Structure formats: C-alpha cells, structure tokens
Amino acid sequence: MLLVSERDGRGAAVAVLGASGYAGAIAAALVQRHPGLDLVAITSRTDAGRRLADLYPQHRVPLVLEQPDIEHLAAASDAALVAYPHAAAATTVAELHARGVLVVDFSADFRLRDLSVYEQWYGSHPAPELIEQAVYGLPELKRDGIVGARVVANPGCYPTAALLALAPLARAGLIEDVVIDAKSGISGSGREPTEETHFVSADENVNPYKVGGHRHTPEIEQELALLAARGGGDAPGQLAPITFVPHLVPLDQGELVSCYVRPTRAVEQRELDTLYRDAYAGEPFVELADRAPGVREVRETNLCRIFVLADERAGRLCCFAAIDNLWKGAASQAVQNLNLMLGLDEREGLGVLAA
Amino acid sequence: MLLVSERDGRGAAVAVLGASGYAGAIAAALVQRHPGLDLVAITSRTDAGRRLADLYPQHRVPLVLEQPDIEHLAAASDAALVAYPHAAAATTVAELHARGVLVVDFSADFRLRDLSVYEQWYGSHPAPELIEQAVYGLPELKRDGIVGARVVANPGCYPTAALLALAPLARAGLIEDVVIDAKSGISGSGREPTEETHFVSADENVNPYKVGGHRHTPEIEQELALLAARGGGDAPGQLAPITFVPHLVPLDQGELVSCYVRPTRAVEQRELDTLYRDAYAGEPFVELADRAPGVREVRETNLCRIFVLADERAGRLCCFAAIDNLWKGAASQAVQNLNLMLGLDEREGLGVLAA
Amino acid sequence: MLLVSERDGRGAAVAVLGASGYAGAIAAALVQRHPGLDLVAITSRTDAGRRLADLYPQHRVPLVLEQPDIEHLAAASDAALVAYPHAAAATTVAELHARGVLVVDFSADFRLRDLSVYEQWYGSHPAPELIEQAVYGLPELKRDGIVGARVVANPGCYPTAALLALAPLARAGLIEDVVIDAKSGISGSGREPTEETHFVSADENVNPYKVGGHRHTPEIEQELALLAARGGGDAPGQLAPITFVPHLVPLDQGELVSCYVRPTRAVEQRELDTLYRDAYAGEPFVELADRAPGVREVRETNLCRIFVLADERAGRLCCFAAIDNLWKGAASQAVQNLNLMLGLDEREGLGVLAA
Amino acid sequence: MLLVSERDGRGAAVAVLGASGYAGAIAAALVQRHPGLDLVAITSRTDAGRRLADLYPQHRVPLVLEQPDIEHLAAASDAALVAYPHAAAATTVAELHARGVLVVDFSADFRLRDLSVYEQWYGSHPAPELIEQAVYGLPELKRDGIVGARVVANPGCYPTAALLALAPLARAGLIEDVVIDAKSGISGSGREPTEETHFVSADENVNPYKVGGHRHTPEIEQELALLAARGGGDAPGQLAPITFVPHLVPLDQGELVSCYVRPTRAVEQRELDTLYRDAYAGEPFVELADRAPGVREVRETNLCRIFVLADERAGRLCCFAAIDNLWKGAASQAVQNLNLMLGLDEREGLGVLAA
C-alpha cells in the first residue's frame, strides 16, 4: 500500500464492507465524494447484487453491492472500512490486516483492551491476538496513535460523545463519579426492522433501554480510567463504575449525552471553561457552545458540540455533548481516522464548513 | 357550596379559568364529561368570545370562552380550576377562595411552603397569606390533606413524576443524593408560539434547557425533604440539593423522568421491589412496570408508570416514571384533586380502564 | 344468541380474533370497556400465551392471547370481531357464522359483491358462498342492512373516509369523475416491522405507494356506483373509474382523503353545503367542519370530519374527510356495526363526547 | 460588475438580504461555501446585530446580520439574493437593479407576467415597470433567458415541483386538465412562530390549507400555458384552470406534488417514459425515478426527483415530483440561477454528488 502522497494524484483505494447498513452506507457515500480516496468496492451479505442507490437513493452511490470476498477485496484495496456487528467483524478484520490492508473497524471487537472484560460483555473473541495492535480511534484523544496504526477500532457512538464531554475532567482527576443519561435517534438501533424500530412504536415515545447493562459501559469506563491515569490524577481502575442509561427518542439520527459529575473537589464555571477551551483549542471537529446544544446543530456533520455548566448550588458538573450518531458516532469518524492513517489532512472529505 | 352528594343528583358546578391553554382546555373537557361535575363556565383573557371547540376541535367542548369575572364566576361555581401562569394565579385564587369557591390552582404560587424560597425563584408573591392554607395536591402522597382542603396547589409536571418515582426511597431515608434527568414533549412549553416551540426548531431535535435553574427544582426538594422527615429518616433540609435537568424531545405530550440515586446504603433489587409494591399497593393511578416505561404507555391518562432498577454494579438506583405532562402532570391530576375535595370517588371521570 | 336486552343485564359475549394487530388490539380494548359487551376471548396465532397488556401497555387489556379454536370460540361467544388479513379471514368467518356467531370481519373478503372483481384484485376466494349474505358495514350509508345482518364486512379505512366524503355527491349523480389522494399514518401498514415501517424510513418522509393499484380502489368504485344507482342518478357501472393514490405520512394514526370531483354540472357552495347537511343531519359520528380538517381532530375517535368546497374558479369540487384509520377506519367502526347488529345504541362504548 | 472569470480568481461579491429567514439563511450558507462566490453581507430587519450562527448554529455562517442599507449593499456587491416576502421585495429589487446589481428575487413579485393577475392575487404592485425585464428562474425550462438576465424571479416551491412534473406533458399538449395535490413540510410556512407552526399543532397532523386559493396557483397556470403554447400544442390561455391544494405534513423540510392529469388523448406508459427521458436528458438536477419518490431522497439537495405513471385503467396520468422546499424550492435554486447569470457552471457550489 502506498500513502496517498505517493500515488501520483490518485486516491487510496478503499472498500466498505457492510455498506448496506446505515453507517456503512454513509461511509460509502463519504468515501465516494472524498477527493483523496477511491471507492473501489462495497459489500453486503444480505443485499449483494443491489445498487446502493436503490437502497438509499439519498446517498447517490451508484455502485453495486458485492458478496464480500477477502482475497478480492485485499487485492483491490489499500484500506477497508468494516461496518459489521461485533464478533462477525473480528475475523474479517484479522484477514484483511494479514493481507496488508489498513482497517477501520466499526464494531466493538477491538475497542476493549482487556480480553476478560470483552468476554464478560460480548462473549468469546474470535481474534484476541489482534487486540494489542488495534488503536482506539477517537482522534481528539488518541491522534498520535492513530497516525501510525494499521487497525483502528472506531469508537461506539455513546462513548464518542461521552468521552469528548468528560475527557478534560477525567484528565484533571476531577471525576468522583458520573451518571451518563443518553438520548439517541432510532437509527442507533440499526437498519433491521423490529418491533422497537417500527415507526408506531417509536413515534411519540421516549423510553430507556438496556438500563444498567448497555455494552458501551465498559468502553467508556476503560477510556475514562486511562485518561485519569495519564492525566496524573488517580490510577486507572480507581474510577468508580459509571451508570450509563441510553434512551430512544423519536428522531432519525442525532445523539445527546448528558453527563452528571460529582467532582473530587469544588469546581467553578470559570475553571471549567478554561479547562475545556484548553483541551479543545484547535480541534477541527469539536465546538464549545455557550448554551446547551441541540442535536439538530450537528446533524450530518463530523462535529461534536459540547456545553459544560457548573451547578454550583448542587455541587455538580453538567456536561452535554451532541453528535450525529451515524456520522461522528460512526461513519465520518471512521473517515477521519482513515485520513490520519493515510497521512491525509484529517478534515479531508468531511466538509468543515466554517473557517 | 354543597357536596355533590347533597346536590340532588346534580353535579358540582365547576368553572375552568384559563381554558384556552393546553392544560386548561383538557381540564374543561374532563369536567364536561365528568358524571359528577357540571362545567358552568370557561374563561380566557386572550380568546374570550371564541368557542373552545374552534380552538381545540378534538376536545369537543362547545362552550364559549368568557372574560374572567370573579363575582360572576364565584356566584355560579362551587369549585374552580385555575390554569393561569404563576403570579397571575395567586390573586385570582385568593379572590375565589374568599368567596367560598374551592380552588385547584395549576400554577406554582401555592406549592412552596417557604415564602423566601418562592421569592428567590419566582419574585414577589401576590397573596402570601394563603400559602399556609393551601395543600400540595399530589394525592398519592397527600390524600388526607387534600380531602379537607379548600385550596389545592396542583403540582408541577416534573415534580409529579419525580416525586412518585422517588417517594418510597425518600421515606425510607435511602437517598444520599439524586440527579433527575427529565424529557418532556413540546406541549410542556405551553401554547404560546415561540422560536423554541416552532415545529422546525423542535423536530429532529433534543436539547436540555434551563440547566441547573428550572423552577421545579425547589418544589421537588421541598417534598423530598418532607418525605424524608416524615419517613423517620434524616431530618428535612439535610437532603443534598438535587440536580434537575429537563430536556425537550420531539413529541407533543408525554414526560419521562430518569432519576439516578446514590443511596445511603446498599440496596438490592428485591428490597427495592418490595418497597415500591408496598408504597403503591391499591393506588389507582400508579402502575409498577416490569420494564422501563415509554411515555406512549400513559398518553392521555392520569397514570404514572414507574420502573426501578438497582444498578448493583455501580451502586446506584435508577428510578423512571412516565406520565402525560398535560394529564397527570396538570389537568387530570387537578380533577383527581377536585374529586377528593368534593368527596367524590377519586377515579370519577378519569377513565380508569382496567379494574 | 340473545340480544343484550334479553340477557338480564349481562352484555353480549364477544371474542376478538387477531387481537395482536393494531386494529384488533384496539377492538379488544373497546369491547372490554363497553358497558353492553363482555370480552370473553382474544386470540392471536403469533403471540398466543402473551398478555395483551404486555404487547400494548396503553390498552390495559389484562387478558391472555389464545390460539384460535373455532369450537371453543363459538361456544363462548355471541359475536366475534375477526381482525385477520384477507383470505385468512374468509374461512374463519364462515366457520363462526355456521355456528351461529355474529361476525364483523375486518378483512376485504366480503366487501366486494362481484366475485370476479375480488379475484382480480385478491386472488381466489375461500368462501364465496357467504358473499351474498354479508352486508357492507358503513353504518352511515347502510344502517338498515346492518341491523339485521349476521355477517358484516367492515369497510377498509380509505373507503370509509372516501365514501363518507363523496356519498352525498354520488347519490345526487354529481360525480363525473374523481381523483382521490389519500394520506395515512404508518399504522395503516400494519404491525409487521418492514423496511417501509422502520422509523428511519418513514420519518421526515412522504411518499405515494401502490400508485394506481391499491386494493381499496374497487371497493370505493363499487359503493360509489351503488350510491349513484340508488340515488336516482346514473346507473351503476357508468361511473368512470377512479384514480386513487395513497401516501404514507410520518405520523402514527390518522388518515385524510382529499377528493377532487369533476361534477356533472356546475355546483355552487351553497348547494354543496345543503347537500351535506341534509345527508348527515343527526349522524352521531359525522362532523361537518367549516374549514379543512386536520387528522388530529379525530384521533382516537369514531368520528369522520368532513369539509367540502366548491372550487368555482376551476369548476371542481374538493371534498376532504379525516378519520382515525385504526378507529373509524377499523376497530371502532366494527364496534359501531356490532352495536347495530345486537340492537344496542349505535354509540354505546364509543365515547361520543359532546351533545 | 465583472463576471467571475474576469475577477482575477476572486469570486463575485454576493449579499443575501433577509438572511434570517429559513431560505435566506440556507442561501447565505450556500454562498459562503461556494468556490466562486464571496459572501460579503447578510441582512435582516428583525435580527440585525446577531450572528447568523447564533440563530442557526447548523449553518455555521459566522457573519453578523446587518440592517439593510441599499447604497452600502450596492457598493459592496456584484449580486444580491433577496429573500423578502412579496411586495416588500419589489422596491428593494428595483433599487438594487438600478444600481447595477444582479438580483435573484425569492418573492412572487416578478413571477407573474400579467400585472392584473398579480394584483388579483397579491394586491397592488410596488414596481410594475420591472416585471418586463425579470426572467422566471426555473433553469430546466428557461435556461437561455436566465443566462442573460439581470433580474431573476426565483419560482415558488410548489410551482418548481409542479412545473418540473408537468412540463413534458404541457409542451406535448397532453394536459386536458390537472389536479395538483401537494404536501409540504412545516418550514414552508416560514420562520414566524404561529399557532399553525407550533409543534403541538403540526405534530401527528395532516391538513389541507388555502384550499382553492393558494397564490402559487396563477404562477403554475401561467407557466403551463406558456409551455403549451411554445410546445406547439394549444394556445396559451386555453389550458383549463387547475385545482391546486397544498397540505401541511409533520416534517421540517421536503415537498411532494402529486399531479393527476386527464390527458387530451390516451397515453401509454412507454410514451410517457420516452417523453420524460427526452425532456430531462442531461439535466444535472432532475432525476427520473423508477418508483414513487419520497421526499427524504432529495433532502438538502437541489434535486427534483420525478416519477410518472399512466393509470391506464382510469385513463389518467399520475406525475409525482419531490424536492426540498427550502433548497430546490428556494435557496439552492437561487444559487443555480445566480451561477447561470454569472457565467459559472450551473452546478457550482451545489454539491452534485454522483456522475
């Protein structure tokens, strides 16, 4: 594989596996429009033979979905975005990696460092030997590691928003404990039609789901602990277990996390503002808002919009982050990671509008 | 005023003031259909002269809205439901009360026992002398007081749900601190068209509002403290300040509160279940669910549906309550209160479907 | 079977078959609350063994769904509401009818008088011998026939609204041709989760479906022709074929039909108003509106709200009718029919609010 | 004013007047991102002094809204997009035009050729002398005229969709008469908060409005007649008056027109397909679909997606067109027009994804 800069003006060849899902389809559309990438193949086990434009006219990707064939894909591609469910992803990721293809994996398979934690939440792991090499792909926190990585574990949508909301506090050792109440549009439940995703079930409704047991919990805890450790605060593992409760809200895409932190010491608004400004200065995809954000404000962007408020009366810190769960929470963040892996400008193909 | 039982089969004469608002209109519709009540007048300062059925065809109340005239209303009515904003309500409530009319007040004016707390959150109080006599109208917690009351302060929608969700824990002295994350449909913002309530602003959106400063906060704190005190647990006032953050979600009516409690000691699921079953046994309008409730499940009912879960991993208790913000959160709870005040069956006119 | 009036104060025993579907579940809830009916059984082939209250907490029907057993159902029931898909319904309806049970059939199986038309649109008919005896159950047009009927074919949702919107014109021989553009909430597509009913597909969308080929077309044409014939206008069959195009709109339940009539002669607004007032005077479930109706105005009612306007500029008549597709378009209309069949007040159990 | 090609690599200087409205704000965002244009000023009479990014964070336009000042704007701008309501626009358009500024006018003021028709639907005209010079800016039908124009009347959203749906039939003289039933998202009612645009009014609702009297009616009739005349079919004015009925549907942006044509002679599907393929071959912003389109498929694009079906049974032609009412129905079509006026590639800055 050659870096784009070595390719005589042609873009890196990219395949998108699992392109018939919501996130995979957006990833395919982003790659297709990307000035530095060539979309060479899109695959789907369930919809092979159909044009992606028939499934998703709005994305206007005229390619035909193929059955995934690792040898063929490895020969044709410099990099692959693998939008498979967990467990299904690991084997494919390992096979592509073994053939020299850069991989961004949308699943949870390579996000958790500790195999026993993975097994506790997801069951047995099909390719544990690769865990060590994978880098957790949250660029705002792990940029340096991603640049040299050959396998990147694209974060879950909730961890993306929650970690960006909490990272400055975690690094500063300010989190005594935290409750994360998240609200997600229905696309977060995936494309499969179920009773839960039926319009009539979701419309005019709000309901919590997987209370106390959502699989993004250990992912958030792992990264918060690492941040706390690296930040010079408490050692990893000492962070109290979080309570994380997601809710379904009647909209298609968009996600808000509301984080309620009991701090280790009193923190005033001014200190909070400085902490976040310093943490995110120069970040192209983080916006610090001066009022609580709505998810509309980041729809179909790679942006994360953050607002923090010290509830001095109650001695608690309220941190809100809004993202598009299918973009920054999945597809566009994968492209951001791929840009970094390929030595491209991180913002390429992601439509940073202002500035 | 005569009790209904003394009225020779005729119902108590009831006026609804402020009937052009969302909650007032539903209250008028409920009174009109009520077998034990006669709807004798509906008023509106902004829409006087219009038929309520023109403003809200769905309610099918053919009466014409009048300008409010206290003497006339007092002469014609045994009881009044006053659906005015705070401050505007207090004077009218006092005038009706002085003329012997039973009053259920939808505003916040008589909910807070402590005048200084009221003034801190709402400004000066137009009729402080009446605070003492008013009863906080959450029937599941204050039934006895309501039965003999002549002025009832109908609770706010958020306090209704939050208190029903938390009362058993508060009474048992189990709340160390609590975060309340609430989600409300847009009708909670009232009928006035604003940028915030415009369809295009609210659709496909979720956003927190009045973070750390919503006026329902002291109301929840007051009642939790009273419960804790009466329950034999800690004394009132010792309860830590709560953090309460409401969010707007894109639906018309319905409200979910998600309460995250750090308990004073470890609590297991079994104990939690027993506590709530005992607390709400026989309550006609509280349902204990065996899974997290959606707001659709209580739409257009006087029901509060509650689910509690001990997140034993994190040592936290998660309590969810779903209500219809315009019904149990306002109009139908007012009728429930009025039923109690008049000596009627509490369930009369409120359509309890299943026995 | 005995009429209710002969049953010593007990209600008629009613079974609801197919009660796990949207319309069947509402029918079960209506029967349960009905003062003159006893809900004795609810059935479902797919969800037998579950409580209906678990599938639809909002309906609060505590009965358990049974596998349908004709002998058992016939023994236990005076009447049955059969909410099955077409073809599946016919055999069951015939079996129940043969055992003396009154039947209201929600399917299309007994709506079309002409077997060849049925077969053209639906395929072969499992019980054609019963067609003759079934009465088309649109009470506002066929009340007398329904009173004595033992099998009633409950109309389709679109025909219900379209026929009520057009009947006065059809009877007066005023329809030269007509275009019917209908808009329906997603519940009209049924409870089965599909790509089309997925929240993400339907949200923020409007789209026509089955253009020129929806099976309600011949049903509307049949009844319009009969009305024209009986009305003393043109003979049946001379009516020009209609164009009927339904559209899915992003709401759960509610249906609007917009009918555009080219009249056989010039018609002024005044004549139109008189025609409709005369046609629907005294009808408890038809409301003539003085402005175009919204579907919210009839949500969860058995009402049809109609507005007619002579577009004198273009020489066309615009007739709009709004119903709740699951209520007047299915479940509550079935109860209205059952009331008539049993000799009860047509309005019983259907919550006519005003007057 | 210089053409872009003459400006030494800098883009044409463009002002957007009325940029605080929904369409104006999108126009500002499109101009800002446009590689060949410079956004030099944005104005608002109601929100001057505020950053556009505060009103619409999602558009990320950091400029501050100014009070409109014609001299200043004319000095600074080569071209102006004027997003004012009708009547208010005409004077401003005339003033800018007199100072040599190219203008695209979003209002109806210069769309109607016949002053008497304008006055009948809109009242007196503030600048009738300019009507003659203005070109109706529907590029797919009027491209040549727009290229040399100095004032372009940007079409209404409904006429844009309806005319693209019907133009091939009109030119071929195939329209005997037509009914247009349109469905629009709530943004079509503008940014002003009203009872009608309140979330609670629009949610779960569908309703017709301005039945038989919407002001887009004469605009559609004018252009259909012109097409019929130029097409060599019947002379203009002989076209029968249309019936046009718009409906509000609960979504934010998106518009579907369903056109029902009684043709002058029998037309088969094959002929219809050929007619439309020929008419729109090579058009960058028209897509011919092979099934009925949903408005999601064109959301936030300048595309119009069309589907035509011969309902041979009823002898009627059904033509559907979906657009985004704020984009192709207003803001992006204005930029498309401006591109043509400035000698730029018509597609510049409008994100044609495929091809």
Cβ contact A295–B205 (<8 Å)? yes
Query: What residues in C contact A202, CB-CB < 8 Å?
Result: 199
Model confidence at A346, pLDDT cuts 50, 70, 90, reads very high
Cβ contact A199–C253 (<8 Å)? no
- Tokens for B267? 């609590």
Distance CA B232, CA B221 (A): 17
Residue where the block lists tokens 């605080």: D20
Distance CA D141, CA D167 (A): 8
Probe site for chain D from C203, C207, C248 (most D CB atoms < 10 A): C207
- Tokens for C18? 């197919």
Cβ contact A32–D62 (<8 Å)? no
A317 residue type, one letter = L
Listed in sequence order, the residues at least 6 apart from D222 whose beta carbon sits closer than 8 Å to its beta carbon are: D111, D112, D113, D114, D117
Measured between CB atoms, which of A251, A262, A309 is closest to B206? A251
Q: How many CB atoms lie within 10 A of CB A100?
A: 11
Listed in sequence order, the residues at least 6 apart from B200 whose beta carbon sits closer than 8 Å to its beta carbon are: D22, D186, D187, D191, D197, D252, D253
Local structure of B100: helix, strand or coil: coil
CA angle A145, A149, A151 (to 5 degrees): 125
**3-state secondary structure string, chain C?**
CCCHHHCCCCCEEEEEECCCCHHHHHHHHHHHHCCCEEEEEEECCCCCCCEHHHHCHHHCCCCECECCCHHHHHHHCCEEEECCCCCHHHHHHHHHHHCCCEEEECCCCCCCCCHHHHHHHHCCCCCHHHCCCCEECCHHHHHHHHHCCCEEECCCHHHHHHHHHHHHHHHCCCEEEEEEEEEECHHHHCCCCCCCCEHHHHCCCCEECCCCCCCHHHHHHHHHHHHHHHCCCCCCCCCCCCEEEEEECCCCCCEEEEEEEEECCCCCHHHHHHHHHHHHCCCCCEEECCCCCCHHHHCCCCCEEEEEEEECCCCEEEEEEEECCCCCCCHHHHHHHHHHHHCCCCCCCCCCCCC
Q: Are A307 and A315 in contact (CB under 8 A)?
A: no
Reported in sequence order, the residue ranges of chain B that DSSP labels E, i.e. its strands, are 12-17, 37-43, 79-82, 102-105, 135-136, 151-153, 175-184, 207-208, 243-248, 255-263, 286-288, 304-311, 316-323
Distance CA A339, CA A334 (A): 9
- Domains defined along chain B, listed by start: 4-154+330-341 (3.40.50.720), 158-323 (3.30.360.10)
C-alpha separations of B145 from B142, B154, D146 in Å: 6, 13, 76
Local structure of B200: helix, strand or coil: helix
- Tokens for C205? 């969308």
- Beta bridge partners, D259, equal D180, D319
pLDDT in tens, A19-57: 999 999 999 999 999 999 999 999 999 999 999 999 999
Catalytic site includes residue D157: yes
Distance CA B30, CA B333 (A): 11
Cβ contact C241–D315 (<8 Å)? yes
| Mean pLDDT per 10-residue section of chain D, whose length is 355 residues | 48 97 98 96 97 96 97 98 94 98 98 96 95 97 96 98 98 96 97 96 97 93 93 60 97 98 96 98 96 96 97 96 98 98 96 48
Distance CA D53, CA D235 (A): 50
Query: What residues in C contact A200, CB-CB < 8 Å?
Result: 22, 186-187, 191, 197, 252-253
pLDDT (average), residues A239-257: 96
Distance CA C315, CA C242 (A): 18
Q: Are A304 and A336 in contact (CB under 8 A)?
A: no
- Cα of D270 vs its chain's centroid, Å: 30
Query: What residues in B contact A294, CB-CB < 8 Å?
Result: 205-207
Cβ contact D258–C241 (<8 Å)? no
pLDDT attached to residue B7: 45
pLDDT attached to residue A8: 52
H/E stretch holding D240: none
Q: In a structure prediction context, what are the per-residue pLDDT tens digits for chain B, which is 355 residues long?
A: 344 444 455 799 999 999 999 999 999 999 999 999 999 999 999 999 999 999 999 999 999 999 999 999 999 999 999 999 998 999 999 999 999 999 999 999 999 999 999 999 999 999 999 999 999 999 999 999 999 999 999 999 999 999 999 999 999 999 999 999 999 999 999 999 999 999 999 999 999 999 978 999 999 999 999 999 987 654 444 678 999 999 999 999 999 999 999 999 999 999 999 999 999 999 999 999 999 999 999 999 999 999 999 999 999 999 999 999 999 999 999 999 999 999 999 999 997 543 3
Per-residue pLDDT for A252 more than 80?
A: yes
ipTM score of complex: 0.94
Distance CA C307, CA C292 (A): 6
Q: How many CA atoms lie within 13 A of A93 on its CB side?
A: 33
Cβ contact C289–B62 (<8 Å)? no
Listed in sequence order, the residues at least 6 apart from D26 whose beta carbon sits closer than 8 Å to its beta carbon are: D59, D326, D327, D330, D331, D332
Interface check for B262 against chain A (CB to CB < 8 A): the answer is: yes
Which of A257, A32, A51 is CA-nearest to residue A165?
A: A257
H helices of A2-134, in order, are 22-33, 52-55, 70-76, 88-98, 115-122
b (16+ CB within 10 A) / e for B197-224: bbbbbbbbbbbbbebbebbbbbbbbbbb
Distance CA B281, CA B286 (A): 9
Point out the residues of chain C with pLDDT beneath 50.
1-7, 234-237, 353-355
Q: How many CB atoms lie within 10 A of CB D342?
A: 23
Q: Are A67 and A48 in contact (CB under 8 A)?
A: yes
Query: What residues in D contact A204, CB-CB < 8 Å?
Result: 203-204
Count of all residues that appear for chain D in the document: 355
pLDDT in tens, D176-208: 999 999 999 999 999 999 999 999 999 999 999
Measured between CB atoms, which of A57, A297, A354 is closest to D62? A354
Listed in sequence order, the residues at least 6 apart from C54 whose beta carbon sits closer than 8 Å to its beta carbon are: none
Local structure of D114: helix, strand or coil: coil
Cβ contact C58–B29 (<8 Å)? no
pLDDT attached to residue A2: 42
Chain D residue closest to A288 (CA)?
A: D57
Distance CA B171, CA B229 (A): 7
Q: What is the pTM of this model?
A: 0.95
Chain D residue closest to C246 (CA)?
A: D258
Phi, psi of A202 (to 5 degrees): -90, -30
Interface check for B58 against chain D (CB to CB < 8 A): the answer is: no
Question: A212 to chain C nearest CA, in Å?
Answer: 22
Would the CA dihedral through C110, C112, C115, C119 be positive or negative?
A: negative
Q: Are A295 and A256 in contact (CB under 8 A)?
A: yes
Q: Are B173 and B264 in contact (CB under 8 A)?
A: yes
- Tokens for C314? 């273009």
Chains that touch C (3 or more CB pairs under 8 A): A, B, D
Q: What is the DSSP letter of A101?
A: -
Tell how strand A243-248 and strand D79-82 pair up.
Answer: unpaired
Q: What is the DSSP letter of A129?
A: G
Cβ contact C289–B354 (<8 Å)? no
B1 residue type, one letter = M
Query: What residues in A contact D299, CB-CB < 8 Å?
Result: 58
CA angle C231, C237, C239 (to 5 degrees): 70
Query: What residues in D contact C315, CB-CB < 8 Å?
Result: 240-241
Local structure of B94: helix, strand or coil: helix
Q: Are A349 and A33 in contact (CB under 8 A)?
A: yes
Cβ contact C203–A22 (<8 Å)? no
> 196-215 in D: which are within 8 Å (CB) of A?
203-204
- Tokens for A228? 């706390």
Count of all residues that appear for chain C in the document: 355
